[in-house]
Amino acid sequence: MVFDDVTVRLLLALGALAALFGAFLQAILELFEYRDLVNSAELTHEATQELLTQYRNVSYWVSFFLWGFIPFYGLYRQLYREPIRLIDKVIESALDASQTARAKTAVRRARNWAIIVLGAMLVLAGSVLDLVNSA
């Protein structure tokens, strides 16, 4: 049995779409688990004050602005690393050890599935472009 090129390319595009959809659903599932764990966390007033003390120090803000002048590291630090550290501190102070481990695992899994989603998007885009160019 011989298939023409368009049929094979169409099957490839549909397979890439299925991979994209499955990975997307898995990433969303992991984020929902993380959200449920974080929503169940309850910070005491003392824990909140302890987390916010770094923002009251002048040295924190001097460091914040000085690191901001370094082009890419400053963006990485202020937009990615610092919020992640704050979220980790909140999780660790509000959840017990097993829930903290589950929350961190869910975030890592969601990140990994998001990378797979990105790869599946590229495969889908390439297969659709190939399908369009062959027709």
Write out the DSSP string of the chain.
----HHHHHHHHHHHHHHHHHHHHHHHHHHHHHHHHHHHH----HHHHHHHHGGGG-HHHHHHHHHHHTSHHHHHHIIIIIHHHHHHHHHHHHHS-HHHHHHHHHHHHHHHHHHHHHHHHHHHHHHHHHHHHHH-
Both 80 and 107 in one domain: the answer is no
pLDDT tens, residue by residue, 39-97: 787 777 777 777 777 777 787 777 777 777 777 776 677 666 776 777 777 777 778 88
Which is higher by pLDDT, 110 or 48?
110
Both 62 and 101 in one domain: the answer is no
Both 35 and 51 in one domain: the answer is no
When divided into structural domains, the chain yields a total of 2
pLDDT score of 108: 83
Both 90 and 48 in one domain: the answer is yes
Domain region containing 75: 44-94
Both 100 and 76 in one domain: the answer is no
Both 49 and 87 in one domain: the answer is yes
* Mean pLDDT, residues 100-115 taken together: 84
Both 100 and 131 in one domain: the answer is yes
Q: Confidence band (pLDDT; 50, 70, 90) for 98? A: confident
pLDDT score of 78: 66
